[in-house]
Copies of this chain bind each other. A is one copy, B any other.
């Protein structure tokens, strides 16, 4: 998709059969939202844009005026190092909000870019602030969402610091599936979108693309996963979780409303 194809999407008529708004279904994991709150969130994200893969949403030295909400596709946070090394610090799937919190500082301390073409809503910081001020449940949901990010970050540190290649990768894939599942993004055949290529995967788990490739082959050979054409299927959840030490406890915030 060429860079110029940034078409404004028309807000869809809100039919009762309309697909659920990703932001609403994400925040519903944390608090029960009433009609009015849901409508507010839908209005906030009604205007969105399809942006191409690798598009940079904000930069380390920028002063964003907007908060981004991913509606489809995927985004990833990263930091660059002198010498071209890159660490991916986390990824956002539909419904996820890029930190509302760099509001408080003047600058973010990392970058955010898209992995695969994605639909992105940009909400002015003030608008978010007003909604949070008016609806305490929305404020709480955003807070919990930030805390979940924190919990994920801690688990990633554990993952990179203490586990070997197979476990790291397995853990990463388990988490992706779990998070996608929580917001209803698992297809009926059990597959989930996986727009990250092997280089990005490598930068996410602190390894080289070559090694990621070999580790993937190993997971495939052991019939644990199937990953092709940017879609991931976990063939044996129990065994993959077992082998990679994945315990979804750290993601329990996603089940607060069950």
Contacts and interface: CB of A to CB of B under 8 A. Distances in A.
A64 interface: no
A81 B105 CA distance: 35
B87 A147 contact: no
A124 B140 CA distance: 21
B156 A157 contact: yes
Interface in A139-178: 140, 143-144, 146-147, 149-151, 153-158, 160-163
Contact of A109 (B79, B149, B154, B203): B154
Interface residues of A, number: 40
Interface stretch (A43-51, A226-234, A249-257): A249-257
A15 interface: no
Given A153-B157, A154-B153, A156-B157, A162 B105 contact: no
B206 A161 contact: yes
Given A104-B143, A253-B105, A154 B245 contact: no
Interface in A217-232: none
A3 interface: no
Contacts of A79: 154-155, 158
B160 A82 contact: no
25 contacts: A81-B162, A81-B163, A81-B245, A87-B162, A89-B157, A99-B150, A101-B143, A101-B147, A104-B140, A104-B143, A104-B144, A104-B147, A105-B252, A109-B151, A109-B154, A110-B154, A146-B150, A150-B150, A153-B154, A153-B157, A156-B157, A160-B160, A160-B161, A161-B206, A162-B206
Interface of A: 77, 79, 81-82, 85-87, 89, 99, 101, 104-105, 109-110, 140, 143-144, 146-147, 149-151, 153-158, 160-163, 203, 205-206, 245, 249-250, 252-253
Given A87-B161, A150-B150, 12 more contacts: A79-B158, A81-B245, A82-B245, A105-B144, A105-B147, A109-B155, A109-B249, A109-B250, A149-B150, A156-B157, A160-B160, A162-B206
Contacts of A245: 81-82
B157 A87 contact: yes
A224 B134 CA distance: 54
A250 B102 CA distance: 12
A157 B158 contact: no
Nearest to A110: B154
Contacts of A154: 77, 79, 89, 109-110, 153
